[in-house]
Structure 1
Amino acid sequence: MSEVFEGYERQYCEISANLSRKCTSAAALDGEQKKQKVSEIKNGLDEAESLIRKMDLEARSLPPNVKAVLLAKLREYKSDLNNLKTEVKRLVSGNLNASARDQLLESGMADALTASNDQRSRLLFSTERLNHSGDRIKESRRTMLETEELGVSILSDLSSQRQSLLHAHNTLHGVDDNIGKSKRVLTSMARRISRNKWTVGIIIAVLVIAIILILYFKLSK
């Protein structure tokens, strides 16, 4: 929530409550006292309207989710300001005689003030509700930031694990190459052993045949 907007909001609520009290007291005055009081009320209305414009500009400069909450508040404040202006118009609407003024105070003004008080009560309720909505938005934003940080941490861990897997894959590839080389060496050795076996077998066969021939010639003599 904007601190600037909240500052304007506090000022407006103070001015609105003060203007409401002045309207109530001005209704019972006559002549110059009433004119002076009405003049003070009009100055207060100008100040309240200036604060409304400042709140509007501040709200529209904020992110959409915050802006929507503040503009909803602002609509309530504008409605409250319009009610105050209506009360002032009734105060300056004409030269009423004492009985007419008393009747107005007893009926119309009382109704207007009651309506204004009801409106102000609704305004305070709406403000409280919107403040709760703002708190929920803050909580949601904090949760979102925590989730984002967790996601970044998980991605960092996954990246580290990926590097470890790539390193392990390269290591296994090197081991596989070494196994292939060893297999080729063993195959070559097996072939040599096989050839040596045949060579030894042939030599033994030749020796056996030679011994047999020698024995044959000796025995034949």
Structure 2
Amino acid sequence: MSDVFEGYERQYSELSANLTKKCTTAGGLHGEQKKQKLSEIKAGIDEAESLIRKMDLEARSLQPNVKAVLLAKLREYKSDLNNLKSEVKRLVSGNLNASARDELLESGMADTLTASADQRSRLMMTTERLDKTSDRVKDSRRTMLETEELGVSILQDLHSQRQSLLHAHNTIHGVDDNISKSKKVLTSMSRRMSRNKWIIGAVIAVLVIAIALILYFKLK
């Protein structure tokens, strides 16, 4: 519910009740007093029309679900204002005699009061439905915020896990580099050992041949 619309609504309800009382009072007046009262009523009707225009602009600027409810209430206010205008026209015309005019006013006021009671009842029901709709909107907004907070928390967890995986990947990559270096060192050592074996074997072979030659010459 719009606080601005509610403010205009309160002003209109008070003004409508005041205009209804003035119409009843004007029905029993004559001459200049009646003209002055009718002038006050017309000024009040102009103010009521201004309030209705403001309520209409405010209602049309709101969300569609709220807008529909407020426009329905606004139609009832416009109907109420039209009844007041009709009452003023009857007061201004002055074509009816006093008794007929009093009877018409009493009948019109009874109908107006009955219509006002029905309108107030409908307005109360509409206001109650609007309050329920507003509560549902608030609940939906709260759920949406909670869902958003949960989504942010999940994204933060995923980001943290991604950082952990990147760190583990870098660590594994470092270990792989160390293994490659160790493999190269072992390969180099293996080659050196093979070369040393061939050298030792050659030395032994030379020594064996030398000993054999020495023995040969000594025995000969």
What secondary structure sits across from 1:175 in the alignment?
helix
Query: In 2 relative to 1, CA 12–81 (structure 1 residues): closer, same or farther, beyond 3 Å?
Result: same
Query: 1-side partners of 2:106 and 2:9: how far apart?
Result: 33
Give the alignment's Cα RMSD to 1 decimal: 3.8
Aligned pairs for 1:29-108 (under 5 A) are 29-32=28-31, 34-61=34-61, 67=67, 70-105=70-105, 107=107
The CA deviation at 1:10 is 2.0
Query: 2-side partners of 1:189 and 1:203: how far apart?
Result: 21
Sequence identity, in percent?
A: 78
What is the aligned partner in structure 2 of residue 130 from structure 1? 130
Give yes or no for contact 2:26–2:38 (8 Å, CA) kept in 1.
no
Query: In 2 relative to 1, CA 112–13 (structure 1 residues): closer, same or farther, beyond 3 Å?
Result: closer
Opposite residue 111 of structure 2, the aligned amino acid is D
What is the aligned partner in structure 2 of residue 167 from structure 1? 167
Opposite residue 5 of structure 1, the aligned amino acid is F
Query: 2-side partners of 1:73 and 1:175: how far apart?
Result: 76
- CA displacement, residues 64-117 of structure 1 (integer Å, 9 cap, x when unaligned): 666555445434433333333334344445432344335435645533432232
What secondary structure sits across from 2:125 in the alignment?
helix
The CA deviation at 1:150 is 4.2
Give yes or no for contact 1:80–1:120 (8 Å, CA) kept in 2.
no
Structure 1 spans left out of the alignment, 5+ residues:
none
What is the aligned partner in structure 1 of residue 177 from structure 2? 177
Query: In 2 relative to 1, CA 96–198 (structure 1 residues): closer, same or farther, beyond 3 Å?
Result: same
Structure 2 spans left out of the alignment, 5+ residues:
none
Query: In 2 relative to 1, CA 52–200 (structure 1 residues): closer, same or farther, beyond 3 Å?
Result: same
What secondary structure sits across from 2:16 in the alignment?
helix
Query: In 2 relative to 1, CA 65–171 (structure 1 residues): closer, same or farther, beyond 3 Å?
Result: farther
TM-score normalised per structure 2: 0.72
The answer to whether structure 1 residue 119 and structure 2 residue 104 are counterparts is no
Query: 1-side partners of 2:146 and 2:75: how far apart?
Result: 34
Give yes or no for contact 2:26–2:37 (8 Å, CA) kept in 1.
no
Query: In 2 relative to 1, CA 111–51 (structure 1 residues): closer, same or farther, beyond 3 Å?
Result: closer
TM-score normalised per structure 1: 0.71
The CA deviation at 1:125 is 2.1
Query: 1-side partners of 2:43 and 2:110: how far apart?
Result: 23
Give yes or no for contact 1:55–1:74 (8 Å, CA) kept in 2.
yes
The CA deviation at 1:180 is 1.6
Corresponding pairs, count: 219
Query: 2-side partners of 1:17 and 1:34: how far apart?
Result: 19
Opposite residue 88 of structure 1, the aligned amino acid is V
